[in-house]
Amino acid sequence: MKIINQSIIKGNNLREMYEIIFHEKSVSRIEIAKRLNLSKTTVSCLAEELIGLRLVEDLGVTKKENGVGRNPNGLGVVSGANFIAVIDWSKERTELRLVDISSGESILCRNMPVKNDCDYADATKACYLIAKDYLRDTQKLLAVCIIIPGLIDSKQETIISIQLGIDSEIGRNLIKKLRSYFYQTSACLLNDSACMAYAEIDAARLEKTDFAYINAVNGIGAAIYYNQRILGNATGLATQIGHCCVKPNGPICGCGSRGCLDVVAGESALTDYSIDVGKDRSNQKNRELNYTLLRELADKGNKQADEILMQLADYFSTVIVYLVSIVYPEKIVIGGRGQNLGTKFMERLKANLVNMGFHYMMMRASVSFAETTDEDRFIGAARYFMKEYFDYSGSIINGFYLG
């Protein structure tokens, strides 16, 4: 038991040390020792292990802030050596990004068509093989992260995605296939909203802030970051706010209910709204109504677009009140493509919240648009794996993780 505990402690120290180095870009061993409350000797030993794993490198002498004494050597994350294959599932295709964990940049992008629901596992395997073959001998593929717009039930070993038309039976078969394909590598299946939340944590430096991330894309999902963890991990099970009813007796949702936020305010739902673009008709030719176009039309004075934009703000307001009343986050972030709804939407939403919910709680919860976009989900997935699943001690080489 003592050996196991020491191994866990060591692994956690390595993880925390890597996170400090990742965020600071260049930091001395002395500074790390202060932050982690560890001895200089312990930090030096841990640094050697991270250097041995080729995750970290010694950058040589760095500038000392106070200019007194010997300048210490800095530690930085190794660039261009370690990668994660992030594979995103969307309707009729999968998208591969080969992400450099040091910078978040993608060195390879590929799309793979998917003909039916059962092909997602095969397309994912094909993407993995492409990524593996692309890397040079000096580069390492650490893991495969699969992003899905849906929920992941780790107890029932299944996934459900209304956006992709994947029910629990299909989802169960897909997981069986994925397990058989990736038994010799580290891989994880992640909810898209959780990946977006993790990208926002780094971009907005929210590591120590309790916040709710609302992921407004084709559908609407969420992730709640509380006490420095995602509630329910990256399964999506704890935060299906897209299926809160905001319009009783509204249109039927794929979940079986009526009037869900997802089916009345997701970007895909905008096709159900009718807008006469009037004089702008020639300029909007072949453009589907999305959040950006809706905002543009409203800004130009289109009354129908403005009414729809205000209605969307009202729907979002209702769900935000639910979130604040139940979880009480310090901050609510609207992201994905939700930031494309613009200033008018945000002003209406904030005005609504003044007169809704428990006033004390609502006044202390700030609302803002995200600093990231839906493209950053690939970076978020890679960061989530490194922080939650990568084994820095090297005791566990492979594993397939759900959420």
Burial 297-317 (b: 16+ CB within 10 A, else e): bbeeebebbbebbbbbbbbbb
Q: What is the average pLDDT across 263-274?
A: 89
- For residues 251 and 272, the answer to whether their CB atoms sit within 8 Å is yes
- Token pair 């709204």 is found at 273
Q: Which two tokens stand for residue 347?
A: 């002003």
- Token pair 């397309």 is found at 123
Q: Output the pLDDT for position 10.
A: 87
The highest-confidence range among 68-82, 120-134, 236-250, by mean pLDDT, is 120-134
Long-range Cβ pairs for the range 24-28 (8 Å, 24+): 25/76, 25/77, 26/59, 26/62, 26/74, 26/75, 26/76, 27/74, 27/75, 28/62, 28/72, 28/73, 28/74, 28/75
The domain segmentation of the chain, as residue ranges, is: 6-62+71-77, 82-195+376-402, 205-372
Q: Between β-strands 220-226 and 229-230, what pairing exists: parallel, antiparallel or unpaired?
A: antiparallel
Q: Between β-strands 93-100 and 366-369, what pairing exists: parallel, antiparallel or unpaired?
A: unpaired
Q: Output the pLDDT for position 66.
A: 57
Q: Output the pLDDT for position 68.
A: 60
Query: Which comes out higher in pLDDT, residue 77 or 399?
Result: 77
Q: At what angle do helices 29-36 and 40-52 cross, to 10 degrees?
A: 110
Average pLDDT of the residues of the chain: 90
Percent of the chain exceeding pLDDT 70 equals 93
The answer as to CATH 3.30.420.40 being correct for domain 205-372 is yes
Query: Do 82-195+376-402 and 205-372 come out as alike in CATH topology?
Result: yes
Q: Output the pLDDT for position 276.
A: 61
Per-residue pLDDT band for 285 (boundaries 50, 70, 90) equals very low
Classify domain 6-62+71-77 by CATH number: 1.10.10.10
Q: What is the average pLDDT across 251-275?
A: 90
- For residues 191 and 161, the answer to whether their CB atoms sit within 8 Å is no
The highest-confidence range among 97-111, 262-276, 358-372, by mean pLDDT, is 97-111
Q: What is the pLDDT of residues 299-357, one digit of tens each?
A: 999 999 999 999 999 999 999 999 999 999 999 999 999 999 999 999 999 999 988 98
Range from 58-72, 172-186, 358-372 carrying the lowest mean pLDDT = 58-72
Q: What is the pLDDT of residues 165-194, one digit of tens each?
A: 999 999 999 999 999 999 889 999 999 999
Classify domain 82-195+376-402 by CATH number: 3.30.420.40
Percent of the chain exceeding pLDDT 90 equals 77
